[in-house]
Structure 1
Amino acid sequence: MVASPRGADGADFPALHGLSQGYRAAEPAARPPRAPRPLRDTLAFLLAFGALHAAWTWARGSALERWVIDDCTVRTGAWLVKLSWPQAGAQAAGSRIAAPGGGINILSGCEGTEVLFLLWAALLAFPMPAARRALGMVLATGLVFGLNQARILVLFHALRADRASFDLLHGLIAPVVMIALSGLFFMLWIAPAQATPRAPAPRP
């Protein structure tokens, strides 16, 4: 039992402990994401891609480039070749996957950075929360790396089987597939940001 307070004249005041059940503090409405602005976003994309490409060009011959090509790309590629075709005798040798009967050179541009920079630039330019952008860039890095390693593996096998198919895969099919799958990832990643947020339901 809750006693009602009394005033100076002895009159009862209504108890206030139940008022919170009928009234609730108004909650701030969720701020909708910024709508895309095609011209500005396109300019941001071009600037981001240009900056990334220029930075990578400046890093030519550096320890960073050797780490990306020799350590990450070539060593992983040689391991995949040995895993799928032990008899080939593939070995990592600097920027080359060497093997008796022919190997492949991984030159600048063959490590997948151009496709990665396109995807990074698109994620940087499109309006989305910073945490989602950062996670998207991490996942994009893993995606492009995996696609490029698969490309190198297929090219190694194609080189040993048919030089004409190697040239077609290297010059046309593999780049188109990598760009298409990267574009699909981007469209799926930005889909939640493009969805119209629901207005909060009114509360009594």
Structure 2
Amino acid sequence: MLRFLLIFLVLLLVMFVAELTPPVEHYVIEPFTAMLADACAWIIHWFDPSTRSSGKFIEGGDGTFLVSIERGCNGIEAVIILFAAILAFPAPWKHKIAGLGAGLVAVQLLNIVRIVSLFFLGLWHRTWFEWFHLYLWQALIVLDALIVFLVWLRMVPRLGSVQSTMRQAGAASP
């Protein structure tokens, strides 16, 4: 447990520092955030065809509301916490890679729901927007990362026992 905790903390530190470097910011974070804004604008466009995105911004067609997806709002921090936990846990690499991929998708799908809902809350009621943005959704995104990690933890032994069963069955056959 101590080994996991130390590796987890070191990975958190390394990944959070890396996230703040200009090359990672320019070549990873900014393009990812723009892609996230485009995906959210595409969904919002189903309900408001005049919605448009540009870089990290999503703007309502009438120009009265603009969302800017900033650090902490793009889900990267929750993904970093999840990735550090998965990488620190002693499991086979193929299970870690599966967990990283599924975790990234799970956190970002919820983050898209978050951004789209906040966009509409901002259009309809700014006070509710602020409350949901600052309190509810921040906690839910981190909780999502924790739940994904816990689900992954439950699946790792099951996947490992299936493999050992398959190996035993293969060894027993002529």
- TM-score tier, shorter chain, comes to 0.7 to 0.9
Find out whether 1:170 has 2:133 as its counterpart. yes
* 1:91-170 equivalence runs, <5 A: 91-99=52-60, 100=62, 101-170=64-133
Find out whether 1:67 has 2:31 as its counterpart. yes
**Percent of aligned positions with the same letter in both sequences?**
22
Query: Aligned-pair distance for 1:144?
Result: 1.1
Give 3-state SS (helix, strand or coil) of 2:82's partner.
helix
In structure 2, the CA distance between the partners of 1:192 and 1:94, relative to structure 1 (3 Å rule), is closer
Residue 6 of structure 2 corresponds to 43
Give 3-state SS (helix, strand or coil) of 1:62's partner.
helix
TM-score (norm 1): 0.72
Instruction: Mark the runs of 5 or more structure 2 residues left unpaired by the alignment.
Output: none
Higher helix share: 2
Query: Aligned-pair distance for 1:194?
Result: 5.2
Q: How many positions carry a matched residue from both structures?
A: 162
- Across the aligned residues of Structure 1 and Structure 2, the Cα RMSD in angstroms comes to 2.2
Aligned residues of 2:8 and 2:88 also touching (Cα < 8 A): yes
CA distance in 2, matches of 1:92, 1:39: 45
Residue 33 of structure 1 corresponds to none
Deviations 1:15-37 (A, max 9, x none): xxxxxxxxxxxxxxxxxxxxxxx
CA distance in 2, matches of 1:193, 1:66: 33
Aligned residues of 2:107 and 2:144 also touching (Cα < 8 A): no
- Pick the structure with greater CA Rg: 1
In structure 2, the CA distance between the partners of 1:61 and 1:138, relative to structure 1 (3 Å rule), is closer
Query: Aligned-pair distance for 1:169?
Result: 0.8
CA distance in 2, matches of 1:193, 1:102: 44
Instruction: Mark the runs of 5 or more structure 1 residues left unpaired by the alignment.
Output: 1-37
Large movers: runs of 4+ above 2 Å: 63-66, 192-200
